[in-house]
Chain A
Amino acid sequence: MENENFEQRTDLSKLSSAVEKIKATLSKIIVGQQQVIDLVIAGILADGHILIEGVPGVAKTLTAKLIAKAVDVKYSRIQFTPDLMPSDVLGTPVFNPQTAGFEFKRGPIFGNIILIDEINRAPAKTQSALFEVMEERQVTMDSHTYKMEEPFIVLATQNPVEQEGTYRLPEAQLDRFLFKIEIKYPSLEEEITIVTQQHQQKTADQLNDIKPVLAGADIIALRQQVRALYVEPKILAFAAQIIHETRNNRSIYLGGSPRASLAIVNAAKAIAAINGRDFVTPDDIILVAAPVLRHRIMLTPDKEMEGVLPDDVIAQIIQKIEIPR
């Protein structure tokens, strides 16, 4: 979206090109789900971790795997199971007979893109192992701190908590995810395309043919560009007001944290950059409000029993706030 009256202030051509490449790669396999893809890309550009939720069989893991394949960085996959231990994720000190000392054997969390599949099948004990690494990008073991390499992205998938054998993730961990993206069932047309592609055996071949389109260093550079985007003070206040209202709403038991305020602004910047703007508009804030907040807020028990969804409450909150203009 260019404006002929103003000279370009920030060169977003590299970012736009990278986004187009990732979208094209994902679109080879994923049918539809454009908003999901946009949000995943925005999450990566905003330096956040992403939680993808959906019922079994809606290509949660496939989306995460494709993102990992599209970026040329170290990729690890951890399948979360009920008997998984924190040391299985982080690593553990192992005795080395040659040196007669303990050496730290790094766990699968030491990578750049970490796919945690079915994250809510592990209990809280294992989840708590992720707290430090997700927020501080480091692992402390035996009073020694191991820094993670940049970029460090956790892409987690989960089934809705109502499903059998799942645990509710701790609030502290949910707050560490920038987005919770919900993948819905495809439309009838999309479903026909999926079945047709599978019938023609296109999907299986193409999955192996996916080549990286972006390097880790590119992601770091693009993130710096996104971070530098301009946000009008009134829009910052608008974002803060949304979060503030979640703390005063009667339907909400636990509102958004200051981390949510930061997340909403960072995510809005990424969306603005994807749309070719170097400044944020209220539309960007509204677009990311639900994915940023839906996993951070907790509804009151009576509202949950009534079947009210967090997205409904977030929409009501936004409707009460004046758009800065």
Chain B
Amino acid sequence: MLRTAPLFVFLLIANLCFAGPDTPAVLKKIIVKKDTVAVNKKPAVIITDTTTIAQRSLDTAALNKYKRSPEFKYEEKYDGPSWWTRFWRWFWNWLGNLLGRATKHEGAMSSFFLFLKYFFIAAGLSALVFLILKLSGINMMHLFRKKPYSTLAYSESVENIHEIDFEAEIEKAIAVHNYRFAVRLLYLRSLKQLSDNGLINWQINKTNTNYVYELTNAEQREAFKRITLQFEYVWYGDFLINGEIFKRINALFSTFKSSAE
């Protein structure tokens, strides 16, 4: 209150200072003019409605039609559950009784019903997991497989090195002078031999260099490097090979074969 007192005084003084003298009123003479517009007055006339009224009635036929229409029937007649519903109700009751009986029976029957109970539970859970995996788009083959490809599958080359009869195939290739293919078979035979002896771990994603470094025996490694070089020149380099060159290469492979045995 004390704080606002000076402000109040200031406002009061300011009001007194700025307040001007009263403005004198300007008096004007008002002249009243007489209205000279003529008014044409007419006598009031009452107009009576003389139109004839045609009384309409409801179309009973149409009304009955609507009444018969099932779309306008709001009362539902309940005839009990459908056969589909009844079937499922029966199924679940039967299943419930079956599983419930597991504890009521004794001996072998009890075990059977118990087995059946857990079988259904396991099947249900498996179906649920399968559904979840399917919906989430997870590849189940990859989920349960340790490696994306089998270690021995050799799909690209048609053959599987563990299934080829190398000696017969090499003979065939030499017989038709397909030395390039024969060198390839000789090299695959060497890989199989090393894999069978546990010296290398055969995998389809390993390069020749990988196998070279897997060999621990220095002498064997050098020998394998030499035959790898021949294979790479013939197979990757597409160098022309005749019978004479093949003989020399074949000798190298034969030496390696006997040393690796």
Contacts and interface: CB of A to CB of B under 8 A. Distances in A.
Contact of A320 (B149, B208, B233): B149
A53 to B, nearest CB: 27
B151 to A, nearest CB: 12
Interface string A280-291: 111100100000
Interface string B205-229: 1111100000000000000000001
Contacts, number: 66
Interface string A310-325: 0000000011111111
Interface stretch (A3-11, A44-52, A255-263): A3-11
A235 interface: yes
A121 to B, nearest CB: 40
B239 interface: yes
A278 B157 CA distance: 24
Contact of B236 (A6, A9, A232, A319): A232
Nearest to A1: B229
Contacts of B99: none
A322 B208 contact: no
B249 interface: yes
Contacts of B207: 281-283, 286, 323
A192 B196 CA distance: 47
Contacts of B204: 322-323
Given A1-B229, A5-B245, A324-B156, A230 B237 contact: yes
B209 A283 contact: yes
A223 B155 CA distance: 37
Contacts of B249: 5
B230 A325 contact: no
A325 B229 contact: no
Contacts of B156: 322, 324
B229 A279 contact: no
Nearest to B139: A250
B155 A325 contact: no
Contacts of B235: 232, 325
Chain A interface mostly helix, strand, loop or mixed? loop
A281 B236 contact: yes
A230 B238 CA distance: 8
Given A6-B233, A323-B207, A279 B188 contact: no
Given A3-B233, A6-B239, A320-B148, A281 B208 contact: yes
Nearest to A9: B239
Contacts of A278: 237
B205 A321 contact: yes
Nearest to A281: B236
Contacts of A318: 205
Contacts of A5: 230, 233, 245, 248-249
A323 B149 contact: no
A235 B236 contact: yes
A258 to B, nearest CB: 23
Most B Cβ at <10 Å: residue of A235, A278, A286, A325: A325
Contacts of B248: 5
A320 B230 contact: no
A322 B238 contact: no
A321 B184 CA distance: 20
A277 interface: yes
A232 B245 contact: no
A3 B184 CA distance: 17
Nearest to A235: B236
B205 A232 contact: no
Interface string B176-196: 000000001001100000000
Given A322-B154, A325-B208, 7 more contacts: A9-B239, A232-B235, A235-B236, A280-B236, A281-B232, A286-B207, A325-B187
Contacts of A6: 233, 237, 239, 245
Contacts of A232: 235-238
A216 B55 CA distance: 111
11 contacts: A1-B229, A5-B248, A6-B237, A279-B237, A280-B236, A281-B236, A286-B207, A321-B205, A322-B156, A323-B206, A325-B187
A323 B156 CA distance: 9
Contacts of A279: 232-233, 236-238
B229 A3 contact: yes
A322 B236 contact: no
Interface in A260-307: 277-283, 286
A93 to B, nearest CB: 53
Contacts of A277: 237
A325 B157 contact: yes
A325 B188 contact: yes
Contacts of A235: 236
Nearest to B184: A325
Interface in A214-231: 230
Most buried by B among A3, A5, A9, A282: A5
Among the interface residues B156, B157, B248, which one has the most CB atoms of the partner chain A within 10 A? B156
Given A6-B245, A232-B235, A232-B236, A323 B209 contact: no
Given A5-B245, A9-B239, A279-B236, A322 B205 contact: yes
Contacts of A283: 207-209
A302 B205 CA distance: 28
Contacts of B239: 3, 6, 9
The 5 closest A-B pairs by CB, nearest first: A279-B237, A322-B204, A6-B239, A319-B205, A322-B156
